[in-house]
């Protein structure tokens, strides 16, 4: 899904060129027995009945925006280019290497290492990308377990997950993907006819409390959001903009 709850991703006009599209579906929740108050303002909200929760403590049917990440990231890059942003690729081993006088925002994939922050850990995520077999509605599970089931239809493909595995979990990526696919087919049997287009495996930087603040050197840090990075991205960007203004004076 990614980016479900920020109003800027729910505005009319988002479409294929941006990678943002709307889907109706069900969210199954096991972390609480009560849905949060803000859930009721989401489009097409309806609490799930006891015969719909699939054993979860609660749940809701709702319409949410989804970000098809390759298209969405391309859209953001093009938007930045139109605004005059220059992109430079370089290896940085220490934030002190960066030119003096610049306002530095540390939001790198290894931001925790650059900041000397031992609270950041890597959590392994695995997705299975399937061909489109006509599944229109999404399925999302919110649980504390390191493995769950998400079915996210995108134009031309369906992405299924999920996993949040610590570094010491020895399960091979291929085995995790096989388990994910089996769980997804159990939830949505039509996926049994889908072709596997590929696997997506990556490490999410996770921190017990995500960090968005200025340090005593004037570096703005924004990292540690784990698997909800896109969901909170616009709000974090607002806060980073505010912090940069305070540093720049």
- 1-30 pLDDT, tens per residue? 443 445 555 554 456 788 999 999 999 999
Percent of the chain scored above 70 by pLDDT? 94
Cis peptide before 162 (omega within 30 of 0): yes
Q: Using the predicted structure, report yes or no on whether residue 50 has a pLDDT greater than 90.
A: yes
> How many CA atoms lie less than 13 Å away from 227 in the CB half-sphere?
16
pLDDT: is 12 or 218 the higher one? 218
Residue 102: the pLDDT is: 85
Report the DSSP pairing between strands 46-47 and 147-154.
unpaired
Residue 1: the pLDDT is: 41
Beta strand spans in 33-118 (E): 46-47, 58-67, 105-106
To which residue do tokens 């989401």 refer?
A: 42
Confidence of residue 231 (pLDDT cuts 50, 70, 90): confident
C-beta contacts of 228-235 below 8 A and 24+ residues apart: 228/2, 229/2, 229/204, 230/2, 230/3, 230/67, 230/69, 230/72, 231/1, 231/2, 231/3, 231/4, 231/5, 231/6, 232/6, 233/3, 233/6, 234/3, 234/6, 234/8, 234/9, 235/6
Cα 100 from Cα 40, distance rounded (Å)? 48
- Tokens representing 62 are 């709702």
To which residue do tokens 């999404």 refer?
A: 138
Average pLDDT for residues 105-111, to the nearest whole number? Answer: 93
Q: Using the predicted structure, report yes or no on whether residue 96 has a pLDDT greater than 90.
A: no
Residues in contact with 141: Cβ distance below 8 Å, sequence separation at least 6, in sequence order: 27, 28, 29, 30, 56, 148, 149, 150
Q: Using the predicted structure, report yes or no on whether residue 169 has a pLDDT greater than 70.
A: yes
């Amino acid at each position: 899904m990614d980016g479900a709850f920020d109003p800027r991703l729910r505005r009319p006009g988002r479409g294929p060129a941006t990678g943002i599209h709307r889907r109706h579906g069900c969210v199954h929740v096991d972390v609480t027995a009560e849905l949060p108050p803000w859930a009721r303002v989401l489009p097409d909200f309806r609490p799930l009945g006891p015969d719909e929760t699939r054993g979860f403590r609660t749940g809701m049917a709702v319409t949410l925006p989804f970000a098809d990440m390759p298209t969405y990231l391309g859209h953001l890059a093009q938007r930045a280019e139109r605004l005059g942003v220059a992109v430079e690729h370089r290896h940085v081993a220490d934030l002190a290497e960066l030119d003096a006088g610049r306002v530095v925002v540390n939001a790198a994939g290894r931001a925790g290492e650059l900041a000397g922050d031992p609270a950041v850990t890597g959590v392994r995520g695995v997705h299975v990308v399937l061909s489109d077999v006509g599944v229109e509605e999404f399925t999302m599970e919110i649980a504390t377990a390191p493995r769950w089931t998400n079915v996210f239809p995108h134009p031309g493909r369906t992405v299924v997950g999920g996993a949040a595995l610590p570094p010491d979990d020895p399960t091979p990526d291929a085995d995790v993907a096989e388990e994910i696919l089996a769980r997804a087919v159990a939830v949505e049997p039509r996926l049994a006819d889908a072709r596997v287009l590929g696997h997506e495996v990556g490490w999410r930087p996770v921190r017990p409390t995500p960090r968005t603040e200025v340090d005593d050197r004037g570096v703005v840090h924004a990292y540690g959001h784990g698997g909800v990075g896109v969901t909170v991205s616009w709000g974090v960007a607002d806060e980073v903009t505010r912090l940069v203004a305070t540093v720049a004076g």
